[in-house]
Structure 1
Amino acid sequence: MQSWTEMFGVVETALPILFVVIIGILAVTAARGILRSIGNNRQPVLSVQSVIVGKRTEVSHRHDTDTSVNRSDTKYYVTFEVESGDRLEFVVSGTEYGQCAEGDEGKLTFQGRRYHGFERAGRTYRTELQEYRKSHSSG
């Protein structure tokens, strides 16, 4: 059986190491966020014609057993296809997500990976989308 002094010796060694590891993780996370923001700021603001080709959500749930509080957070994503055929996915607000529909056509404005907005010009229905909806809407 270890004596109190031996046990505290281990704690005195382990605690500073744990503290340094936690500070290191926080520093790396903060640096990544700052570098991403700087990278986006260096990019030009672009406005391009695009079509909304997809929408998705990502829901995360948390439960605090001490207070019996449940919490859900939702991230909203919209995928745009630009004239070159490239697809770009951006996080948008819940309001913006609700106003978008697949097939909406308009002007997408963005800077790097930062979404600035989408001005709807109209709605286009591609042949495949029309056929899909027809085959799945008849009950």
Structure 2
Amino acid sequence: MEAVFFIFFFLIFGFIVSIFYKIISNGIIEKRKNDKAPILQIPVVVVEKRVKTNTSTSMNDDNYNDSSTWHTYKITFEHLHTGIRHTFTMNESKFDKIIEDDIGYLTYQRKRYHSFQRDEGAAEFENDASSRGDLQFKIEE
């Protein structure tokens, strides 16, 4: 009976170790790919901002609930010429400086967000329909 327990224990232990190995190696591979990618700057419009609230609750030894809350901030940018969308997770201070429907230049490196610079001439650009040329704008309802 002890042999079955040890076999079962080592199978579970090996499974858990392999999952941790896979998670860590995927993170390292992703970081290397991001580091090797070129830094690009493209014209975009901000199409969506979202905040996800995460809460964790646990019971401590004194029967009090311990809870913690954190937020994940994501912004989706759409390339003005191709319509390709890029979504990035960022911190709250960067998130707060960007407004939906902003037009500007996104600087990024594969899946790594660097910056967004608002195009100061975008207000005139949006109001003058003749200057839009062949740019396509998508309006989501």
- TM range, normalised to the smaller chain? 0.7 to 0.9
Structure 1, gaps ≥5 residues long:
1-5, 133-139
**What is the correspondence of 1:46-125 to structure 2 with a 5 Å cutoff?**
46-66=40-60, 68-83=65-80, 84-122=82-120, 124=123
2-structure distance, mates of 1:12, 1:105: 61
Residue 69 of structure 1: how far off its partner (Å): 1.0
Which has a greater percent of helix? 1
Number of equivalences: 124
Q: Deviations over 1:26-77 (max 9, x none)?
A: 0011111111111112211001111111101122211111262111121100
User: Superposition pairs for residues 10-21 of structure 1, below 5 Å?
Assistant: 10-21=4-15
Match of 1:40? 34
* Mapped partners of 2:12, 2:45: distance in 1: 49
Q: Which amino acid aligns with 1:88?
A: H
Comparing 9-18 with 89-98, which one deviates more in the overlay? 9-18
Structure 2 match to 1:3: none
Relative to the length of structure 1, the TM-score reads 0.79
SS class of match (1:48): strand
* Further displaced range: 40-49 or 60-69: 60-69
For structure 2, the residue ranges without an aligned partner over 5 or more in a row are 128-136
Tell me the distance in 1 between the aligned counterparts of 2:39 and 2:20. Answer: 30
Question: Per the alignment, in what secondary structure is the counterpart of residue 10 of structure 1?
Answer: helix
**Matching residue of 2:132:** none
Q: What do residues 102-131 of structure 1 show as CA deviations (whole Å, max 9, x unaligned)?
A: 1212111000011001112235468x99xx
What root-mean-square deviation, in Å, do the aligned CA atoms of Structure 1 and Structure 2 show? Answer: 2.3
1:9: Cα distance to partner?
3.1
Identity of aligned residues (%): 25
